[in-house]
Amino acid sequence: MLLQPMSGNSKRHLHPTYHQGLSDAQQLFDLDPQHLDRTTKPTTSPYGDLSRWDVFWLGHCGARFPAATHNLPHNRVVFRNDPTVPEQHHLDPTYGDQQLLDQYPDHTRVVSHAHGNLCTLGYAVSQAGARKLLYQLGLHQFTGPTDLMFQQFCDGMDGSLNATCLTIQPQIFAQYRPSGDKSGYSDISGVWQGINKVAYTRNIRWSTSQNFAKLLSGNTDYVDIYKDGAERIDLGGFGPSR
């Protein structure tokens, strides 16, 4: 919905910030997935025609909504009453910000253009996007960690190409943290110390890693440490600060 043109008019889109941002004084326009029939059905990808997007950043450790000052389209598709999303008090934006928690009720998942994303925990790249990334990171510059270079690419910073990157909050891929010694969490950082008492995947309600055996056996009594009404579990810090 964020990328596909409206049915019968290839030059119009459902949201007015597709081609340019609106001023902060103008009202933000949330898109409802129930209006999907108003846009042209994609023909080359179920997630939108491949020529219209470069990166889908689906797994991260923090993201932000674009604002008009970022020169990125800043409208969103809002999925309400999504039972796979934990209640707000369970969510941890880690390196992101509080906008999702402050602006939307419990069980809301939001798709938007990517801004400020960190950690490449899960992403898809179109062929057009791969060409741009090969140029951007292979020829133009590679001066930092991969996720920061992806962030610059998607945010259009430092002479980056005009990229179209979408993301989702809360994320649908995140790092699984088993119970036990935390020192095994990373092979490049020694900051993790102590014992983790509760296995978890941050912001993921029914973690695949935690429920693998149940999924294989067809059991739907999934492990859910973020049950509605349950007290928030202190999972500690995410890791080294950026």
Q: Is residue 9 part of a domain?
A: no
- 147 and 188 share one domain: no
Under a CB-based contact definition with an 8 Å cutoff, are residues 157 and 187 in contact?
Answer: no
Kindly state whether residue 14 falls inside one of the protein's structural domains: no
Asked whether residue 149 falls in the same domain as residue 215, the answer is no
Is residue 105 one of the residues assigned to a domain?
A: yes
**Contact by Cβ (8 Å): 65, 115:** yes
Residue finishing a domain among 116, 140, 169: 169
pLDDT given at position 98: 94
Provide DSSP, the chain: --SSPBTTBTT--SSTTSSSPPPTTSPP-EEPGGGGGGBPPPSS-TTS-GGG-SEEEEE-S------GGGTS---EEEE-S-TTSPPGGG---TTS-SHHHHHS-SS-EEEEE--S----SEEEE-HHHHHHHHHIIIII---S-HHHHHHHHHHT-TT-----EEEEES-SB--EE-SEEGGGG-SS-----SEE-S-EETT-SS-TTTTHHHHHHT------TT-TTPPPP-----SS--
Average pLDDT over residues 225-229: 95
Residue at a domain's end among 169, 193, 210: 169
In a domain, 47, yes or no: yes
Cβ neighbours of residue 212 under 8 Å, at least 6 residues apart? none
The answer on 66 and 160 residing in a single domain is yes
Check whether residue 58 and residue 152 sit in a common domain: yes
Residue 7 has pLDDT above 80, yes or no: no
Identify the band that residue 9 occupies on the pLDDT scale cut at 50, 70 and 90: low
176 bridge partner residues: 201
d(CA 105, CA 80) in angstroms, rounded, equals: 8
Kindly indicate the confidence band of residue 197, based on its pLDDT and cuts at 50, 70 and 90.
Answer: confident
90 falls within a domain: yes
Q: How far is CA 26 from CA 21, 29, 53, 90, 178, in A?
A: 10, 9, 26, 32, 45
* pLDDT above 70 coverage of the chain, percent: 79
Asked whether residue 21 is assigned to any structural domain, the reply reads no
Is the pLDDT score of 61 beyond 90? yes
Residue 42 located in a structural domain: yes
115 and 219 belong to one structural domain: no
Regarding whether 71 and 118 lie in a shared domain, the answer is yes
- 43 and 105 in a single domain? The answer is yes
**Single-letter residue type at 140:** H
- For residue 183, the model assigns a pLDDT of 73
| Same domain (yes/no): 187, 151 | no
The first and second tokens of residue 53, run together, are 């997007």
Q: Is 11 within a domain?
A: no
Give the pLDDT of residue 25. Answer: 39
- Range among 32-46, 165-179, 182-196 with highest mean pLDDT value: 165-179
Averaged pLDDT score across all residues of the chain: 84
In terms of residue numbers, what domain contains 38?
30-169
Verify that 100 and 133 share a domain, yes or no.
yes
Residues 148 and 109 in one domain: yes
| Domain finish residue from 169, 199, 222 | 169
The answer to whether 74 and 112 are in contact (CB under 8 A) is yes
pLDDT band at 65 (very low <50, low <70, confident <90, very high): very high
pLDDT digits 0-9 by tens, 122-153: 999 999 999 999 999 998 889 999 999 999 99
Q: How many domains does the chain have?
A: 2
Rounded to two decimals, what is the model's pTM?
0.84
pLDDT above 80 for 212: yes
Which pLDDT value is given to residue 80?
94
Say yes or no: 183 and 165 in one domain: no
Q: Are residues 97 and 214 in the same domain?
A: no
